[in-house]
Amino acid sequence: GGNLFMVALTGPVVRLRQKLLLLLLLLLLLLLLALMVSKLFVLMFSQIWQAALGALNPNPTDSCPLYLNHAAVAAIPSRVSRHNSQSSAHFVSRLVRSCLPGGNNRCIVMVCERSDVFASSCAIARAFPIFSRRSTSLRRAEKKHVTVEFVIIGQETEGFSSVQCLANAAHGVRMAARIVDTPCNEMNTDHFLDEIKAVGTELGITPVIIRGEELKQRGFGGIYGVGRAAEHPPALAVLSHTPEGATQTIAWVGKGIVYDTGGLSIKGKTTMPGMKRDCGGAAAILGAFRATIKQGFKDNLHAVFCLAENAVGPTATRPDDIHTLYSGKTVEINNTDAEGRLVLADGVVYASKDLSADIILDMATLTGAQGISTGKFHAAVMTNSEQWEVACVRAGRSSGDLAHPLVYCPELHFSEFTSAIADMKNSVADRENAQSSCAGLFIGSHLGFDWPGVWVHVDIASPVHAVSNWGFGVLTHIVQSDNALIFFYYYYYLGAKRW
Do 139 and 217 fall within a single domain? Answer: no
Q: What is the pTM of this model?
A: 0.85
DSSP per residue over 32-46, as a string? HHHHHHHHHHHHHHH
Where do the H-state alpha helices sit in 182-279? 189-203, 213-217, 221-227
Which CATH number covers residue 91? Answer: 3.40.50.10590
For residue 194, what pLDDT is reported?
Answer: 99
* 111, β-bridge pairs: 151
Where b means 16+ CB within 10 Å and e means fewer, 92-105 reads bbbbbeebbeeeee
Helix pair 89-99, 117-125: axis angle to 10 deg:
40
Q: Which residues pair with 153 in a beta bridge?
A: 113
Q: Does any domain span residue 415?
A: yes
Does some domain include residue 171? Answer: no
Asked which of 111, 134, 153 is the last residue of a domain, the reply is: 153
For residues 381 and 455, membership in a common domain is answered with: yes
What is the CA angle 196-148-283, rounded to 5?
20
54 contact partners, CB below 8 Å, separation of at least 6: none
Residues 174-199, mean pLDDT to the nearest whole number: 97
Q: What is the Cα–Cα distance from 472 to 466, expressed in whole angstroms?
A: 10
Strand-pair category, 454-459 with 62-66: unpaired
Q: How many domains does the chain have?
A: 2
- C-alpha distances in Å from residue 240, one per residue of 139, 200, 294, 475, 489: 39, 9, 13, 19, 19
Query: What distance lies between CA 7 and its chain's CA centroid?
Result: 84
3-state DSSP assignment of residue 16: helix
Residues 394 and 390: their CA atoms lie apart, in Å, by 6
Is residue 357 in a domain?
A: yes
- Which of 153, 170, 205 is the last residue before a domain boundary? 153
Specify whether 235 is located in the same domain as 105.
no
Indicate if 395 and 485 belong to the same structural domain.
Answer: yes
Region of residue 320 (phi > 0: left; psi between -120 and 50: alpha; otherwise: beta): left
Q: What is the pLDDT of residues 263-294, one digit of tens each?
A: 999 999 999 999 999 999 999 999 999 999 99
Q: What is the DSSP string of 294-338?
A: HTT--SEEEEEEEEEEE--STT---TT-EEE-TTS-EEE-S-TT-
Which H or E run contains 492? helix 488-493
Residue at 405: amino acid letter: P
Cα 217 to Cα 396: distance, rounded to the nearest angstrom: 40
Mean pLDDT of 340-367: 98
- Residue 22, number of CB atoms within 10 A of its CB: 10
Beta strands, E only, 89-191: 105-113, 145-153
Same domain, 99 and 214: no
Buried b (16+ CB within 10 A) or exposed e, 284-297: bbbbbbbbbbbbeb
Condensed to tens digits (0 to 9), the pLDDT of residues 466-494 reads 655 555 556 554 333 222 233 333 333 33
Query: Domain for residue 370, yes or no?
Result: yes
pLDDT at 353 over 90: yes
- 306: CATH: 3.40.630.10
Q: For residue 483, what pLDDT is reported?
A: 29
Query: Rounded distance, CA 406 to CA 403, Å?
Result: 10
- Are 85 and 230 contained in the same domain? no
Residue pair 396/403 in contact by the 8 Å Cβ criterion:
yes
pLDDT the model gives residue 467: 59
Tell me: the pLDDT tens digits for 94-120? 999 988 887 888 899 999 998 899 899
Residue type for position 165? C
Is residue 26, in this structure, part of any structural domain at all? no
Looking at the fold, whether 136 and 250 belong to one and the same domain comes out as: no
Q: Do residues 242 and 325 share a domain?
A: yes
- Burial of residue 434 (CB within 10 Å: 0-12, 13-18, 19+) is buried
- Does residue 388 contact residue 280 with C-beta atoms inside 8 Å? no
CA 171 vs. chain centroid, Å, equals 9
Parallel, antiparallel or unpaired: strands 105-113 and 71-75: unpaired
Q: How far is CA 251 from CA 103, 285, 423, in A?
A: 43, 10, 26
Residue 499 located in a structural domain: no
Residue positions annotated with a catalytic role: 267, 341
Torsion (CA) 23, 25, 30, 31 in degrees, nearest 10: 120
Same domain, 199 and 120: no
Query: Residue 398 — pLDDT band, cuts 50, 70, 90?
Result: confident
Name the pairing type of β-strands 105-113 and 145-153. parallel
Domain of residue 122: give its range. 62-153
- Asked whether residue 264 is assigned to any structural domain, the reply reads yes
More confident of the two residues 468 and 335: 335
Give me Rg for the CA atoms of the chain: 29
Amino acid making up residue 490: Y
Domain match, 451 and 356 both = yes
